[in-house]
């Protein structure tokens, strides 16, 4: 069946707690939603370990992907209604790019794996490269659906992900400092974490968004709505995404997977009767088919099995992760602090392998960054369009954003076992000197608590 621009006889809707109704009007979008690769995203949490801190954060990358699609659809509608190329020429919107934009929006996260970034770090995967592979590999349902639109269409959609698509307006809809992706995840993550930090006036932003030849801009009279968005993003990173307990659970997960990887190198038979879907990654020889078999539930099942393994570190880390026993942490002035060597030695003397029970974790992000042409990579800056049609970069018009520009938020933390400062009463004398020396550093703020 060929359906280049086939519309559904009656639009489908998905009820959504953030956007109310998500409207689907194209057959290709509905078919993509029903593909096994997109349905897999139901089984991957949007926020990974954050649900261990904010218990409501159980939402999936599937619901986020639908949200990004719907915001993109609304932007396309606004552009076609108010700024078509028939009215504005080269600064207008060419609606023939709509279907590429909608497909790219829906599929932008399809390459994420279980516990996304932690898994990527341990097994050296790249979710963006895998997104492109899923879209362009003939063996996937997604490719077959896209290829029915027209030959070469999967490659067009993939080029939006790689930021090489011919129309910069489409690229910036999906990937820029204020795009459909960020707008949805801020609102959605705020809703499910029960916080107010990520809320901003989406309706107003969509009212003032407009295309121009070089991409997307915002009308000057909407500057305050854009400021609100920047501040919301800043607050979400500080209060939610960089929460020290969520990061503690990430550290546990990373160390758990690292331990499994180490044990597999020593004795592959350990995992021969379970964890089969993980073996290609422990081997570091995995296919796209192998990757698409994994999700959060698969890993959690393996972790439950690992709790019964003879290796005490593997079983203990699995127990701590599944049962929310996070490591404790303090902020430190630098990862080079010489006291860290002593602290790790005390942890080891108390019976914990410091490789798996200590960590230095840093988290930083810029709420807004300027365009730096001298850098090899940079973020697309936010442009405001003045009444005469000229553009002004956001931080030059907004004192508030100027104050935040280039100001990274985050910290460096030293993670250690909770037992180091809360001794078990049954063993209060066992490592008393080690515990007291460790606790003294904590109390004195030697590492800048």
- Tokens found for residue 197: 């930090």
pLDDT of residue 398: 93
What CATH number belongs to 7-242?
1.10.3210.10
Question: What average pLDDT score do residues 108-126 get?
Answer: 92
pLDDT of residue 161: 98
pLDDT band at 376 (very low <50, low <70, confident <90, very high): very low
Q: What is the Cα gyration radius of the chain?
A: 24
pLDDT of residue 338: 80
pLDDT of residue 373: 38
pLDDT of residue 446: 54
pLDDT of residue 331: 87
Q: Give the list of residues 6+ apart from residue 238 with CB closer than 8 angstroms, or none.
A: 409, 410
Q: Considering the chain, what is the average pLDDT of its residues? A: 90
pLDDT of residue 408: 66
Question: What average pLDDT score do residues 189-215 get?
Answer: 95
Question: What average pLDDT score do residues 192-201 get?
Answer: 92
- Give percent above pLDDT 90 in the chain: 75
- Using a 10 angstrom Cβ sphere, with 0-12 exposed, 13-18 middle and 19 or more buried, the burial of residue 36 is exposed
Distance CA 381, CA 432 (A): 55
Q: Determine which of 16-25, 126-135, 336-345 has the lowest per-residue pLDDT on average.
A: 336-345
pLDDT band at 369 (very low <50, low <70, confident <90, very high): low
Q: What are the residue ranges spanned by the domains of the chain?
A: 7-242, 250-325
Q: What is the 3-state secondary structure (H, E, C) of the chain?
A: CCCCCCEEEEEEEEEECCCEEEEEEEHHHHHHHCCHHHHHHHHCECCHHHHHCCCCCCCEHHHHHHHHHHHHHHHHHHHHHHCEHHHHHHHCECHHHHHHHHHHHHHCCCCCCCCHHHHHHHHCCCHHHHHHHHHHCCCCHHHHHHHCCCCCHHHHHHHHHCCCCCCHHHHHHHCCCCCHHHHHHHHHHHHHHCCCCCCCCHHHHHHHEEEECCEEEEEHHHHHHHHHHHHHHHHHHHHHHCCHHHHHHHHHHHHHHHHHHHHHHHCHHHHCCCCHHHHHHHCCCCCHHHHHCCCHHHHHHHHHHHCCCCCHHHHHHHHHHHCCCCCEEEECCCCCCCHHHHHHHHHHHCCCCHHHHCEEEEEEECCCCCCCCCCCCCCCCCEEECCCCCEEEHHHHCHHHHHHCCCCEEEEEEEECHHHCCCCHHHCCCCHHHHHHHHHHHHHCCCCC
Q: Is the pLDDT of residue 432 over 80?
A: no
pLDDT of residue 377: 47
pLDDT: is 1 or 124 the higher one? Answer: 124
pLDDT of residue 333: 78
Distance CA 244, CA 53 (A): 9
pLDDT tens-digit map of 129-164: 999 999 999 999 999 999 999 999 999 999 999 999
- Give percent above pLDDT 70 in the chain: 90
pLDDT tens-digit map of 287-315: 999 999 999 999 999 999 999 999 999 99
Distance CA 181, CA 242 (A): 19
Considering the segment(s) 250-325 as one domain, its CATH architecture is: Up-down Bundle (1.20)
Question: What average pLDDT score do residues 46-67 get?
Answer: 97
Distance CA 69, CA 101 (A): 8
Are the C-beta atoms of 307 and 318 separated by less than 8 Å? Answer: yes
- Tokens found for residue 261: 């990887």
Q: Is the pLDDT of residue 95 over 70?
A: yes
Distance CA 185, CA 192 (A): 10
For the chain, the residue count is 449
Q: Is the pLDDT of residue 367 over 70?
A: no
Task: For residue 186, give Cα distances in angstroms to 52, 238, 343, 384.
Answer: 19, 13, 37, 21
Are the C-beta atoms of 409 and 364 separated by less than 8 Å? Answer: yes
Q: Determine which of 321-330, 356-365, 371-380 has the lowest per-residue pLDDT on average.
A: 371-380
pLDDT band at 447 (very low <50, low <70, confident <90, very high): low
Model pTM greater than 0.85? yes
Distance CA 114, CA 283 (A): 18
pLDDT tens-digit map of 213-255: 999 999 999 999 999 999 999 899 889 999 999 999 999 999 9
Nearest of 142, 134, 72 to residue 101 by alpha carbon: 72
pLDDT tens-digit map of 387-425: 999 999 999 999 998 888 766 667 889 999 998 887 544
């Amino acid at each position: 069946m060929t359906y280049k621009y086939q519309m559904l006889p009656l639009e489908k809707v998905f009820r959504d707690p953030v956007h109310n109704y998500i409207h689907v009007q194209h057959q290709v979008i509905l078919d993509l939603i029903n593909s096994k690769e997109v349905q897999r995203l139901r089984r991957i949490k949007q926020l990974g370990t954050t649900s261990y801190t904010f218990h409501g954060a159980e939402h999936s990358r599937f619901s986020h992907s639908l949200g990004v699609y719907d915001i993109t659809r609304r932007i396309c509608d606004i552009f076609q209604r108010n700024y078509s190329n028939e009215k504005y020429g080269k600064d207008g919107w060419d609606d023939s790019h709509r279907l590429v934009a909608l497909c790219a929006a829906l599929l932008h996260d399809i390459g994420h794996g279980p516990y996304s970034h932690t898994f990527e770090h341990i097994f050296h995967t790249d979710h963006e490269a895998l997104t492109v592979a899923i879209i362009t590999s003939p063996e996937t349902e997604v490719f077959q659906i896209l290829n029915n639109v027209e030959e070469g269409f999967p490659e067009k959609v993939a080029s939006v992900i790689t930021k090489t698509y011919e129309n910069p307006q489409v690229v910036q809809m999906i990937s820029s400092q204020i795009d459909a992706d960020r707008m949805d995840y801020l609102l959605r993550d705020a809703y499910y974490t029960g916080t107010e930090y990520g809320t901003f006036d989406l309706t107003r932003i969509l009212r003032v968004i407009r295309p121009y030849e070089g991409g997307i801009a915002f009308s000057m009279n909407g500057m305050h709505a854009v400021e609100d968005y920047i501040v919301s993003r800043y607050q979400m990173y500080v209060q939610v995404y960089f929460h020290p307990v969520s990061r503690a659970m990430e550290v546990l997960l990373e160390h758990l997977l690292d331990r499994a990887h180490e044990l597999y190198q020593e004795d592959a038979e350990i995992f021969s009767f379970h964890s089969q879907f993980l073996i290609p990654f422990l081997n570091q020889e995995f296919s796209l088919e192998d990757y698409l078999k994994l999700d959060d539930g698969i890993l959690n099942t393996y972790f439950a099995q690992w709790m019964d393994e003879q290796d005490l570190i593997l079983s203990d880390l699995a127990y701590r992760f599944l049962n929310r026993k996070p490591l404790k942490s303090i902020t430190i002035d630098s990862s080079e602090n010489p006291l860290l060597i002593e602290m790790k030695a005390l942890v080891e003397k108390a019976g914990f392998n410091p490789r798996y029970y200590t960590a230095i974790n840093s988290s930083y992000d810029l709420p807004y960054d300027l365009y730096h042409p001298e850098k090899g990579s940079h973020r697309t800056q936010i442009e405001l369009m003045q009444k005469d049609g000229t553009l002004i970069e956001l931080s030059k018009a907004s004192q508030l954003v100027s104050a935040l520009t280039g100001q990274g938020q985050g910290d460096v933390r030293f993670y250690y076992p909770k037992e180091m400062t809360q001794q078990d009463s049954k063993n209060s004398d066992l490592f008393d000197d080690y515990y007291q020396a460790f606790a003294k550093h904590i109390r004195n703020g030697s590492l800048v608590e």
